[in-house]
Amino acid sequence: MTTIEQHQSTDHLASAEYALRNTPVNHWPFVHTLVRPILPENYYQQMIDAFPEDEVFVPLSEYHRDRGAVFLTHRDAGDDDLDRLDAHQRIFWEGFIETLGSTRFRKALLETMGGPELVESYLHRTRSLIHLSLDRFGYQIRPHTDIAQKIVTALFYLPDPNDQSLESFGTSVLVEKEGVEEADPHDWNKYECAFTAPFIANSLFVFKVGDASWHGVKPIAQPIRRRSVQCFIVLDE
């Protein structure tokens, strides 16, 4: 690889960091932001082109059988799934891990969500857990806050550049209703939807995980292909 190619290969990292650090952050009901565009158009198209075929994905878990996953980094128990990708896909996503899964970008995410204090507390105690995600007909994520091991959640939405048909299927920011404390915490009727991040091309939805970070994805009642890259800053202890 030439010096110019090495320089160009990290341009998307600098662009993503610039966009992230210069986008206003919302603080209610929990810290979150929507960054768009997050990446240069040419790199975003490369992400679309390198996204694996449907048959490569396997259910994320027994609780999320409608969400297919390909892990780019190792899970708590088990290896990554890079060997399921073809040569071109593997090369591309290994580059993604080296840049957008790097300590540099993890620091930018932590600082954007919580300032220098969050960086000081967590940068050297965390790692990036990243998987490709494919959601289809019938998928939903019931209201939840994310597990305590997660510090920041960052979701790269990957619809085709001119496809606006999935806009309403993004992650919703939820607020607990008053007077319904006895309801099932995963019951949609317990929450008001304050904001739904539009599921549009080249966008990144980021939030700080905490006791109030209630969010979810309303049930998908039509045939769709909802592609994303799920990035989590998790404790590595």
List phi, psi (to 5°) of 173: -85, 125
- Looking at the structure of the chain, the number of domains it has is 1
User: Who's near 8: CB < 8 A, 6+ residues apart?
Assistant: none
Residue 182: give the domain boundaries: 3-235
Tokens read off for 12:
């998307």
Which one, of 128, 160, 115, lies nearest residue 25 by Cα?
115
Cα distance between residue 149 and residue 170, in whole Å: 23
Along the chain (237 residues), what's the average pLDDT of each consecutive run of 10 residues? Answer: 47 97 98 98 97 90 75 85 96 97 98 98 97 83 92 97 91 92 83 96 98 90 86 92
pLDDT at 65: 63
Here the CATH number for the domain that contains residue 64 is 2.60.120.620
pLDDT at 10: 84
pLDDT at 4: 35
Cα distance between residue 185 and residue 169, in whole Å: 21
pLDDT at 225: 84
pTM here?
0.91
pLDDT at 6: 39
